[in-house]
C-alpha cells in the first residue's frame, strides 16, 4: 500500500515534468494525465514502477 503512494508520487512528478517540457500540456492537468496514461499503455516497460503495478482502470 505504501509503495502505491510512492508510485503515484512518481507519476505526479512525471506529469509536472511533461507540463514544463511540452508547451501543449502547460497548465493543462487533465491533458498531462492523459499523456501519461498514453505513455504507460504504449511503453509499459519505460519505468520500473510501471512494471510492478498493473495499469489501473479508469
Give yes or no for a contact between 16 and 29, defined as CB atoms under 8 angstroms apart.
Answer: no
Across the chain, which distance is largest between two alpha carbons, in Å? 34
> Is the pLDDT score of 21 beyond 90?
yes
C-alpha cell of residue 39:
505513455
For residue 40, give the 3-state DSSP assignment.
Answer: helix
3-19: per-residue pLDDT in tens?
Answer: 889 999 999 999 999 99
**Sequence-separated (6 or more) residues with CB below 8 Å from residue 41:** 55
Q: Which H or E run includes 50? A: helix 48-52
Q: Is the pTM of this model over 0.85?
A: no
Give yes or no for a contact between 33 and 56, defined as CB atoms under 8 angstroms apart.
Answer: no
Share of the chain above pLDDT 90, in %: 72
Amino acid at each position: 500500500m505504501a509503495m502505491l503512494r510512492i508510485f503515484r508520487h512518481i507519476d505526479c512528478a512525471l506529469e509536472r515534468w511533461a507540463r514544463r517540457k511540452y508547451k501543449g500540456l502547460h497548465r493543462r492537468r487533465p491533458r498531462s494525465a492523459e499523456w501519461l496514461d498514453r505513455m504507460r499503455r504504449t511503453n509499459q516497460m519505460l519505468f520500473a514502477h510501471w512494471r510492478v503495478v498493473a495499469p489501473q482502470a479508469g
